[in-house]
Amino acid sequence: MGKLLARELRKAELPDVLISTESFSHIFQTPELLDRVVQYFDGLGYEVAILYYLRHLPAFHNSAYSQVAKLVRTPGSLEDFIGLPDLRRSTVWRNIQSAQSFRPMLRPFNKKVRSEGIVRSVLGELGISDQPPEVLSVNESPGPLTVHLGRWLCRALEEDGTQLIPRQSKQCSKAIETAVKAYGGETERYMGLTSELAGTIEAVMEEEHEEMAQLLWGTSYVESFPGEVGRDYDCNDFDVTDAAKPPADELRALEQTVLDRSRPILADRSLQQRNAWPVNLKASLARIGSSV
């Protein structure tokens, strides 16, 4: 991957290159991988700047969990995923801020950014005045039914001793999406947070969050994320509340539908080959230093 990308960039002779991927969130947890990425682009003659948006942690965990559940990759609850009381802490912002080999740009992903749109915010931060008139959303947040079915299917398969590999997971997720659309779709996004759970996360992280906000933005954390700290949440997770839950017989029918549709996916030999799955970006970037 390193050689191919280097060849393309040299051939294109682009003065500026913008690369955006959520995978960087995982890669940048490790300082050594972060350094390799920077060294790679530095070796191609680019001055590196990293623009990274930080979310309010309860919202981050809720969003991350919904995506993992949608992909049939977790049988547990949101609280299990978060890992209380030993809350998982991100080291990304510290790694980026403390580095000396590139220009760090860390920003709060708050209401202001969401209202103007992330694409417009990114372009503005980069000094690009030619803004697009309309930006289409390419990432839809799953609803509570989708999250429930993904989590339920993961539990059902694990009871049979089945663990999905990525290609199977993606196809099962598509089967769930098809079943949900046939049922009539969803009108609201998944919200697994309760006010109590969010408050617990905020209390555990209060000191670190305040340190981060003062260091990065010279203001308090509450001012950096106005209206988000201490807010109330209306949970719609089926394991927590019945408020948004379909009738029991309809839900059982949907569960059976996704289970039935998963069977041919599991039996498809072309989806059973791990080496047919695209090379993991983290592993590829880990080798960048020696591949150019």
**Region label for 167, one of left (φ > 0), alpha (ψ between -120 and 50) or beta (otherwise):** alpha
Name the average pLDDT for the chain.
Answer: 86
215 in any annotated domain: yes
Residue 124 lies in a domain: no
For 179-233, write each residue's pLDDT tens digit.
999 999 999 999 999 999 999 999 999 999 999 999 999 999 999 999 999 999 9
Task: Kindly report, residue by residue over 34-69, the tens digit of the pLDDT.
Answer: 888 888 998 888 999 999 999 999 999 999 999 999
Look at residue 119 in the predicted model and tell me its pLDDT.
85
Q: pLDDT tens digits for 81-98? A: 998 766 766 678 888 888
- pLDDT, residue 285, reads 43
What number of other Cβ atoms are within 10 A of residue 217's Cβ?
A: 15
| Cα distance between residue 276 and residue 194, in whole Å | 40
Domain membership flag for residue 120: no
Q: Is residue 119 part of a domain?
A: no
Cβ-Cβ contacts under 8 Å for 99 (sequence gap 6 or more): 31, 34, 35, 38
Whole-angstrom distance, CA of residue 88 vs CA of residue 171: 29
What integer is the mean pLDDT of 162-184? 94
Domain count, the chain: 1
Q: Which DSSP category does 122 fall into?
A: H
- pLDDT interval class at 288 (50, 70, 90): very low
When comparing pLDDT for 273 and 282, which is higher? 273
Using DSSP bridges, classify how beta strands 103-108 and 49-54 pair: parallel, antiparallel or unpaired.
parallel
Is residue 283 scored above 50 in pLDDT?
A: no
pLDDT digits (tens, 9 = 90+) for 108-144: 999 999 998 888 898 888 888 776 666 555 567 899 9
Range of the domain at 68: 2-108+140-291
Examine residue 132 and state whether it is found in any structural domain, yes or no. no
154 domain residue, yes or no: yes
Tell me the chain's radius of gyration from C-alpha atoms.
21
How far apart, in whole angstroms, are the C-alpha atoms of residue 74 and residue 9?
A: 38
- Which of residues 277 and 3 earns the better pLDDT score? 3
Residue 11: the pLDDT is 87
